[in-house]
Structure 1
Amino acid sequence: MTTATISISEIFHSIQGESSFAGWPCAFVRLAGCGHGCNYCDTTYAEEAGTAMTIDEVVRRALTFDAPIVEVTGGEPLLQPEVYPLLSALCDKGAKVLLETGGFLPVNRVDPRVHTIIDIKTPSSGVAEQNCMDNIPLALASPKRFEFKIVVASEEDYLWARDFITKQGLLGKCTLIFGTVFGQLEPRLLAEWILRDRLPVRMQLQLHKYIWNPETRGV
Structure 2
Amino acid sequence: MADFEVVEIFESINGEGRFAGELSNFVRLKGCNLRCTYCDTAWAYEADAPRTVMTEEEICERLLQSGISRVTLTGGEPMIAKNIDVLLERLSREESLEVEIETNGSVSLTAFRQMKRPPSFTIDYKLAGSGMETKMCMDNFAEVVKQDTVKFVVSGRSDLERAYEVTREYHLDQRCMVILSPVFGRIEPAEMVDFLREKRWNGVRLQLQLHKFIWDPDKRGV
TM-score by length of 2: 0.92
Point out 4+ residue stretches in structure 1 off by more than 6 angstroms.
none
Candidates 91, 113, 119, aligned match of 2:118: 113
- Which position in structure 2 is the counterpart of 1:215? 218
Q: CA deviation at 1:92?
A: 1.1
Q: Is the 8 A contact 1:15 1:24 kept in 2?
A: yes
Aligned to 2:66: 65
Aligned pair 1:129/2:134, yes or no? Answer: yes
3-state SS of paired residue (2:58): helix
Q: Which residue of 2 aligns with 1:12?
A: 10
Structure 2: runs of 5+ lacking an equivalent = none
What SS class does the counterpart of residue 143 from structure 2 fall into? helix
Give 1:31 deviation, angstroms: 0.5
Write the distance in 1 (CA, Å) between the matches of 2:94 and 2:78.
20
Q: Secondary structure at the match of 1:26?
A: strand
The aligned length equals 214
Matches within 5 A, 1:1-219: 3-48=1-46, 49=49, 50-94=51-95, 95-110=97-112, 111=115, 112-139=117-144, 143-200=145-202, 201-219=204-222
SS in 1 for 2:162: helix
Q: CA deviation at 1:52?
A: 1.2
Where does structure 1 lack aligned partners over 5 or more consecutive residues?
Answer: none
Say if 1:43 and 1:75, in contact at 8 Å, map to a contact too. yes
Q: What do the CA deviations read for 1:74-122 (whole angstroms, capped 9, x no partner)? A: 1011111322221222221120110110011101122443111111011
Aligned counterparts of 1:169 and 1:144: Cα–Cα separation in 2: 12
Q: Deviations over 1:25-73 (max 9, x none)?
A: 1100010000311111111011034321111111112233222310111
Alpha-carbon RMSD = 1.3
